[in-house]
Amino acid sequence: MRLFLGQHGDALPAEADPERSLSAKGRTDVQRLAAFLKGRARPARIWHSGKTRARQTAELLATAVGADGRVAARSGIDPLDPVEAFVAEVQGWEEDALIAGHQPFMGKLVARLVRGAAEPEVVRFEPGTTVCLERAPDGRWTVQWMLPPELFG
């Protein structure tokens, strides 16, 4: 089972856009990532936090991986939410999933799955970064790859 964890793309500042939509750079970064994922990822579900920048990121990625109808907002993955409940849920999943979210939640989730503790961080997210984790048959998680946006630009 693979878990694709993406921090939303670069967003406009709150004073320019209170909804914090993706900036032109953020949209471009996510579109480049989406092109890379096309044919390489087939998530059964795509979730986002409900915040505009995460929703836009999830929708762009879903289009590329052929999962348009499977994008949904969900609670429990906001920036400051604890990761334990989500970790317990993920452990029971059998199908690949993609989550578009925020820091520090995403970094803590990766650390908790890979190391068993939410801190210190295992990977450093920046806007537009995606990490692919894979769960082995014995239940252990490993980082398969990490793609920051500068690799596509």
Q: What is the pLDDT of residue 153?
A: 66
Q: What order do you get walking across the sheet with 130-135 strand by strand?
A: 71-73, 45-48, 97-101, 2-7, 130-135, 141-147
Q: Considering the entire predicted model, what is its pTM?
A: 0.95
Residue 86 in this model has a pLDDT that exceeds 80: yes
Residue 152 in this model has a pLDDT that exceeds 80: no
Share of the chain above pLDDT 70, in %: 99
| Alpha-carbon gap, residue 92 to 64, rounded angstroms | 26
Q: What is the pLDDT of residue 69?
A: 72
Contact call for residues 5 and 101 (beta carbons, < 8 A): yes
- Helix (DSSP H) and strand (DSSP E) numbers for the chain: 4, 6
Nearest to 153 by CA among 64, 36, 39: 36
pLDDT digits (tens, 9 = 90+) for 22-78: 999 999 999 999 999 998 999 999 999 999 999 999 999 999 888 767 899 999 999
Give the torsion sign (CA, 18, 56, 81, 149): negative
Q: What is the pLDDT of residue 74?
A: 96
Q: What is the pLDDT of residue 25?
A: 96
Contact call for residues 139 and 91 (beta carbons, < 8 A): yes
DSSP 150: G
Q: Please report which residue ranges of the chain form alpha helices under DSSP H.
A: 24-37, 52-65, 84-90, 105-115
Share of the chain above pLDDT 90, in %: 91
Q: What is the pLDDT of residue 67?
A: 77
Q: What is the pLDDT of residue 56?
A: 97
